[in-house]
Structure 1
Amino acid sequence: MPKQPPPFFAQMRASEHAESIYYADLFRINGKVWALTGTGKSDAGRAATAKRRDDDLARDSVAFVRDGAMLMGRYDPGALNPDMLNDLHALHPLVAVVYCLSETETAKAFANRPLELVDVDPETVGLMLSKSVYPPPMVQHFFDDNELAHLYNDERRLRHWLKLTAGTSGVRWLLAPWMPTAADKGALYASLVV
């Protein structure tokens, strides 16, 4: 059972999707919402959207939620303000989930190939994503130590990701190479039609 939060968080409630929160950003690129994770995700997302504030939907802490076969995402720091569910914590249908490789990972994965977005399966993204830090900053105020140990467990996070993404449709799973500048990677994202 979630613990009682400090008084200054009294207007908030524990997220019902705490098990589905991963280290990712949400950006609206060419009118459609992408989840970006990995190295350089935020700078490239901002470049792909020409730094438009309305297209920068979530940073670092995203809950992935199923709606039928559709995968949705929302900003979720582990606790939500119920008055902001239609704004700050709104759910967005996702068209792409991208893991951004580091420079070292890119050198191994792309060797002598062109730097381009590569389609993969959700398991590949999940393997990388589940090794990232569990990001929501508010969970420590709303969940007890046993619940936190469960939430932080990498194996649990991967199993949950596989269950969450099984049978989804309308989502592209992509690996993005490291590129010399965020503008280069942003242009790569913006050039893809999804």
Structure 2
Amino acid sequence: MPMPPAFAAHLVLSEHADTIYYADLFRIEGQVWALTGVGKSDAGRAASGDDRENDLARDAVAFRRVGALLQARYDLGAVDPTDPDPWHPVAAVVYCLGEHDTRARYGAAARALLAVDALTVGAQLVHQPYPGSLARYFVVPEVMASLYDAKQRLQRWRELTDGAVGTQWWLAPWMATAEAKGALYRGAVLAQRKGASP
């Protein structure tokens, strides 16, 4: 395996390297959401008021289970053992569909969040690139190949999410602007607080 570059010499392999997926974390109306798919970052910024304090992770997100609760943090596959990124409880994991898939799935129906199960979201996640880019400096090639393997990643996702409570799983439609999708996300949180469906 290659030697870590100088900037990573103080890092160690993340113990969660096998649970890193291509996603962002944003705090939206007080809830932490993991967003992936098309336009994830722009919509997340819009939903969180473009506030840096609510912009928690980009592209590389590790998940873990604590009891029945799903948590997530920023993780590139190697971490500073003296200063790890904080873990956040995950209220929702959303896969953002592209324009073509939105037309196919929604047809003429109103553009709203669609509740799905965790494996539906996971099946989309595992076909995104593996973003733990620093892990390759700390593992042998065979281990790195397993981190890229979609079947193993989906199985790991199943283990992480089976029986998890407190997390919603959604598909989100493509929308013409990030602001419109951000408003959809904020509206879902507010509707949930009022006991309505998004």
Please state which band the TM-score falls in when normalised by the shorter chain: over 0.9
Q: Secondary structure at the match of 2:44?
A: helix
Q: Structure 2: which 5+ runs fail to align? A: 193-198
TM-score norm. by structure 2 comes to: 0.92
Q: Secondary structure at the match of 1:82?
A: coil
Question: Structure 1: how far apart are the matches of 2:69 and 2:17?
Answer: 19
Report what 2:99 is aligned to.
103
Amino acid at match of 1:35: A
Q: Secondary structure at the match of 1:132?
A: coil
Report what 1:178 is aligned to.
174
Give me the CA root mean square deviation. 1.3
Report what 1:17 is aligned to.
16
TM-score norm. by structure 1 comes to: 0.94
Question: Structure 2: how far apart are the matches of 1:93 and 1:158?
Answer: 21
Q: Structure 1: which 5+ runs fail to align? A: none
Report what 1:169 is aligned to.
165
Q: Secondary structure at the match of 1:180?
A: coil
Question: Structure 2: how far apart are the matches of 1:7 and 1:60?
Answer: 22
The 5 Å alignment of 1:69-108 reads 69-85=68-84, 89-108=85-104
Q: Secondary structure at the match of 2:91?
A: strand
The 5 Å alignment of 1:8-157 reads 8-85=7-84, 89-157=85-153
Question: Structure 1: how far apart are the matches of 2:3 and 2:102?
Answer: 44
How many equivalent residue pairs? 190
**167, 189, 192: which is aligned to 2:188?**
192
- Counting aligned pairs with the same residue, the percent is 51
Shift of residue 6, structure 1, vs aligned partner: 4.0
- Alpha-carbon contact 2:21-2:131 (below 8 Å) kept: yes
